Amino acid sequence: MPELPEVETVVQNLKSKILGQKIIGVGVLCTKIFDLVPACVIGEIILDITRRGKYIIIKLNTGYLVIHLRMTGKFFAVSKPVPEINQAKLLTNYAKHLHVIIELQDYFLLFQDQRKFGKINFYENLDWLENKLGPEPLLADFTQSYLATIFKSNKQVKALLLDQSKIAGLGNIYVDELLWQAGVHPATLASKISPAKTNLIYLAIREILQKAISLQGTTFLSYAFDGDKPGNYLNHLKVFNRTNQSCLRCGGVITKIKIAQRGTHVCEFCQR
């Protein structure tokens, strides 16, 4: 599933292209993904494109399109062809798993999703989303003291970090990575983690997310941006998807366990 760095990459790529564009048509091939009446957004202007947690938010004149990629969703802009080229022919290049087409003045916004778990919805306000999500881990309101406060919980630390109501945007890949970097076992109860280790986790969250964003995310299964461009963080992973390989820090063997119903990669030798 695309996490904060991947969604941020998609947002920045879209922002460079479609700000100020008017929506002039919507084609819905799968109502499971886009279940509203398309006419409600036709004529709207794209005023801004932002991210909140793992959600893409497109601000319109009268509300917001909110997009969640879930596991295999791809949302990207394709330039319209010159008039003498058949537009339908262009779209056949992206026909596989194509479920929503939003026509703008100069672009098509396409939503592809192999598993059809993704969602596009229209909302008049974002109060529901703010009530649902915790602070953004790269913004000022995510502090070391805030992390220490939520670590008073008796939840396993990985489960707590995956809780979007506590911290928005973290997912399986980056939680494994940041806990490895901090030297903390993902099954450790958050309340048992020392202040020093808590600070290491805080620093790891910021460092790893910023680096992953700079490298346009991690392409592990299906994530891509701008159509088919992969992220470049895969070769920088230290523990995720390295089952039975040597730990890059201590030489121990990376194992895969299950925490919070998620496959979890850990070095049992140096993560305590």
Contact criterion met (CB below 8 Å) for 73 and 118:
yes
Give CA–CA dist 6/33, Å, rounded: 20
Q: Is 121 helix (H, G, I), strand (E, B) or coil?
A: strand
Residue 125 neighbours by CB under 8 Å, 6+ apart: 63, 64
- Beta partners for 34? 120
Q: Is 172 helix (H, G, I), strand (E, B) or coil?
A: helix
The helix (H) or strand (E) run that includes residue 162 is helix 157-162
Is beta strand 23-28 parallel, antiparallel or unpaired with respect to 98-104?
A: antiparallel
**Catalytic: which of 132, 238, 249, 262?**
262
Question: Is 54 a residue of the active site?
Answer: yes
Burial of 193 (0-12, 13-18, 19+ CB in 10 A): buried
Supply angle C-alpha 2, 249, 234, rounded to 5: 25
Residue 120 neighbours by CB under 8 Å, 6+ apart: 33, 34, 65, 66, 67, 100, 111
**Catalytic: which of 17, 52, 54, 74?**
54
Question: Is 136 a residue of the active site?
Answer: no
**Catalytic: which of 2, 5, 135, 186?**
2
Active site residues: 2-3, 54, 262
